[in-house]
Chain A
Amino acid sequence: MECQNCHQRQATVHLTQVINGQKTEIHVCEQCAKDKGYMSYGEENFTLNDLLSGLFHTESPSTFSNKSTQPYKKSTQLKCPTCGLTYQEFARTGKFGCATCYQTFDEKLNPILRRVHSGNTTHDGKIPKREGGNLHMKRELDDYKSKLRQLIEQEEFEEAAKVRDKIKSLQSQLHEGEDGEQ
């Protein structure tokens, strides 16, 4: 495979970047990886001076797979496209730089969040009215779906049919909303 950046050397660095929830595969040569800031040498040994950042260190950069045969170890640099924060900087300070950082480092976050929040990784609380988008509707839909299962188990089919209709209308509302956004 040739490097997708310079199209000259062989691509030896293969990594996955997640930006705005979109996965992008990147295949570049070592030189371009360094130039583009995807990778840097000797960055593994950053100092961990506070307890919190200690949590991040246990999770090694796993999205990076280096198929090069060279003996020395390298690490990639995931970098937030919006604020420019690298994963190394995040790991050192334990602080995000912006909202997009959550998407940029998404794949690495679950183990960290699990440790900090007793195993939880997803939000189950308040949804803001505007920024929450159609999440309110999605939550409602989930509630109806579990109600439907319950009613069917209890063989209350008349009531179940009503709930099914509500689910249908909610689903079509959701689809309209999504089409409208695009």
Chain B
Amino acid sequence: MSLQQFMNEAISPWMKQEGPDSDIVMSSRIRLARNFSQHPFPTVASEETLEKILEFFNEEFKRQSFRDYDNFELVKMKELQPVEKRVLVEKHLISPHLAEKSDQSATLISQNEQVSVMVNEEDHIRIQLYFPGFQLDRALEQASQLDDWLEEKIDYAFDEKRGYLTACPTNVGTGMRASVMMHLPALSMTQQINRMTPAINQLGLVVRGIYGEGSEAVGNIYQISNQITLGKSEQDIVEDLHSVVKQLIDQERKARDALMNRSGIQLEDRIFRSYGVLKHSRIIESKEAAKCLSDLRLGIDLGFIDHIPKTILNELMILTQPGFLQQYAKTTLSPDERDIRRASLIRERLQLENEE
């Protein structure tokens, strides 16, 4: 059964491919919100309506497939254990909101986990598509084709004036949220990211730490996404985002160079200390693990460490979260037990690379 596959591997198959600028950009994502015109939105819809919609997807995807993404697996929320839902959230295959709404909600996941179509989330349909590295244009193109393919079968809620109609007014218009996940250790260390954020906001874009609004960036990972969905075309939104991300990449590279020039030995020390902690600790909290993993990845990018793949950060960041740890341990763990489990898991994983 396919669900097991989604649960077992920490990183999705698509993540193992390297994309453009993958020293800094981890992934690019396009999300499109769509609704059926004739049904009330999931915010108010009856169970019967939601069931009808779910059944529609169940049938449609049995009969046809979209291009390379055949064999979509329909995963119904009500059939999942809490820990399984948590794992899917940690892998970004479903949103936390979908995991909470267990009745008549589902997600369709492609074999390589690049595409997921959430059903009965806040909107009837949330198309989500990932690409490794910095490939927003490609992501938009593919998401749009998948959207066209769905539109052949579904009467979308669309209005001449307001565009694609969504449950929340913050998504109306294009219904599109484009985002890029970036690893910005040098801009964080030098506090430059905080100074750049207001300027980015003025362009209608938002910078967030990976664990959501307002929170500090764990592991120096930031998500840059568009705030505005109305009054601008999809292409314009992606272009704006593209130019900001391009600048952030340049600035991050400059900051890394400057750090190397000014305090190369301190940087090297920091990286190898973190590597030491990851390799030898017996108890490690998630925050410290994230910081050390960020340093390790920077060490790989800067060439200090050459026998470990770059994907280690993505992989261990996901693998060391509570859902995965418990899935792996096949039991519920207390926070203390998790810290022990986390440390041993990281040691094992790094040991594996040393042996190869």
For residue A113, CB closer than 8 A to chain B, the reply is yes
Q: Are A102 and B230 in contact (CB under 8 A)?
A: no
Q: Are A121 and B230 in contact (CB under 8 A)?
A: yes
Complex: how many Å from CA A130 to CA B176? 19
Interchain nearest-CB distance for B167 vs A (Å): 5
> What's the interface size class on B, roughly?
35 or more
For residue B19, CB closer than 8 A to chain A, the reply is no
Q: Are B231 and A116 in contact (CB under 8 A)?
A: no
For residue B250, CB closer than 8 A to chain A, the reply is no
For residue A95, CB closer than 8 A to chain B, the reply is yes
Complex: how many Å from CA A33 to CA B163? 33
Complex: how many Å from CA A165 to CA B313? 61
If the complex has contacts A118-B228, A123-B174, A124-B231, are A112 and B169 also in contact, measured as CB distance less than 8 A?
Answer: yes
Interchain nearest-CB distance for B36 vs A (Å): 9
Among B105-113, B149-157, B345-353, the stretch that binds chain A is B149-157
Inside 8 A of B233's CB, which chain A residues have their CB?
Answer: 124-126
If the complex has contacts A52-B170, A124-B231, A126-B144, are A96 and B151 also in contact, measured as CB distance less than 8 A?
Answer: no
Complex: how many Å from CA A82 to CA B38? 10
A contact face: mostly helix, strand, loop, or mixed: loop
Interchain nearest-CB distance for A109 vs B (Å): 7
Inside 8 A of B152's CB, which chain A residues have their CB?
Answer: 129-130
Q: Name the residue of chain B whose CB is nearest to the CB of A112.
A: B169
Complex: how many Å from CA A109 to CA B162? 10
Complex: how many Å from CA A93 to CA B160? 25
Q: Interface residues, chain A, CB within 8 Å of chain B?
A: 52, 82-85, 93-99, 102-103, 109, 112-113, 116-133, 135
Q: Interface residues, chain B, CB within 8 Å of chain A?
A: 35, 37, 39-41, 43-44, 122, 144, 147-148, 151-152, 155-170, 172-174, 176, 204, 227-234
Q: Given contact pairs A97-B43, A121-B161, A123-B159, enumerate 14 new A-B contacts (beta carbons under 8 Å).
A: A94-B168, A95-B43, A96-B168, A98-B39, A99-B35, A102-B159, A102-B162, A109-B162, A120-B230, A120-B231, A122-B231, A124-B173, A125-B234, A126-B234
